[in-house]
């Protein structure tokens, strides 16, 4: 199920990106997204990944990947060296997400960032009615072993971009296999019904 949602998310990200561009996938995992972008959009991809097994998998697939930690090693990429930088569902896991985000915006002309939405109705009701930290398909860990340090909602990230003068070009909400465009007008409702928010910012 998680896999299916990932696929949906990757599809949305691929749709956001024009063909023949240069893309850095931060936290590229086993290279699934890079492979998709390469095949469907003829994108020149690069990956950054912490896990050694994933790195090996990327190399096996013939995808260029650098083993490293996005929290500490983004400095190696020069300013505006990529058309797009993609960060899929990992911003909340960094110690200093704001610093990482600044770096992403420095490296890429635009940034595509996806966040698991803590404002999704199932998450809200679990906390409200059961008084327990929510465990959902998108947020499968318990409070003591979750890698997620800085959870936020789509609305939070929206407001954050406003505050920091980050230009929001497009926001897409994903729920199961349905996607919808999010704007200021429908933010409240989409914040309730989207599992994942995908932001194109610059």
Partner 1 sequence: MPSLAGLFFWMNIKLEKIKKLEVAKPLKLDCGKTIKDFPLAYETYGKLNDNKDNAILVFHALTGDQFVTGTNPITNKEGWWITAVGPGKAIDTNKYFVICANVIGGCMGSLGPRSMNPDTKKPYGLDFPVITIKDMVRAQESLLEHLGIKKLLCATGGSMGGMQLLQFCATFPDKAFSAIPIACSSSHSAQNIALNELARQAIMADPVWDNGKYVLKNVQPKNGLAVARMVGHISYLSEKGMQEKFGRKLQEKADYEFSFNADFQVESYLRHQGYAFVERFDANSVLYITRAMDYFDLSKQFKGGLVEAFKNQKTKFLIISFSSDWLYTTKDNKDIVIALNASGADVSYSEIITDKGHDSFLLNEPQFLKTLKSFIDSIYEKFRNEKRI
For partner 1, which residue of 81, 136, 146, 180 counts as binding (CB under 8 A)?
81
Q: If binding means CB under 8 A, how many residues of this protein chain bind partner 1?
A: 18
Shorter beta-carbon distance to partner 1: residue 51 or 159: 51
Minimum CB separation from partner 1 for residue 52, in Å? 7
Q: How far is CA 44 from CA 17, 81, 180, in A?
A: 12, 12, 28
The verdict on 136 binding partner 1 (CB under 8 A) reads no
Q: Compute the radius of gyration of the chain from its Cα atoms.
A: 16
Q: How far is CA 125 from CA 128, 143, 192, in A?
A: 5, 17, 11
For partner 1, which residue of 14, 68, 124, 168 counts as binding (CB under 8 A)?
68
The verdict on 66 binding partner 1 (CB under 8 A) reads yes
Minimum CB separation from partner 1 for residue 103, in Å? 14
Q: What are phi and psi of 82, to 5 degrees?
A: -130, 150
User: Which residues form the interface with partner 1 (CB under 8 A)?
Assistant: 52, 55-56, 58-62, 64-68, 73, 76-78, 81
């Amino acid at each position: 199920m998680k896999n299916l949602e990932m696929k949906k998310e990757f599809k949305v990200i691929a749709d956001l990106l024009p063909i023949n561009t240069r893309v850095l996938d931060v936290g590229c995992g086993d290279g699934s997204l890079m492979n998709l972008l390469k095949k469907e959009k003829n994108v020149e991809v690069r990956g950054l990944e912490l896990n050694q097994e994933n790195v090996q998998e990327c190399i096996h697939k013939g995808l260029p990947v650098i083993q490293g930690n996005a929290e500490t090693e983004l400095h190696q990429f020069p300013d505006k060296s990529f058309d797009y930088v993609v960060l899929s569902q990992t911003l909340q896991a960094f110690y200093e997400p704001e610093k990482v985000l600044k770096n992403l915006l420095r490296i890429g002309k635009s940034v595509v960032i996806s966040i698991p939405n803590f404002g999704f109705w199932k998450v809200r009701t679990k906390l409200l009615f059961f008084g327990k930290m929510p465990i959902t398909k998108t947020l499968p860990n318990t409070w003591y072993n979750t890698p997620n340090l800085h959870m936020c909602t789509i609305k939070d990230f929206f407001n954050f971009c406003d505050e920091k003068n980050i230009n929001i070009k497009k926001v897409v909400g994903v729920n199961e296999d349905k996607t919808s465009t999010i704007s200021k007008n429908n933010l409240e409702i989409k914040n309730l019904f989207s599992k994942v928010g995908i932001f194109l910012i610059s």
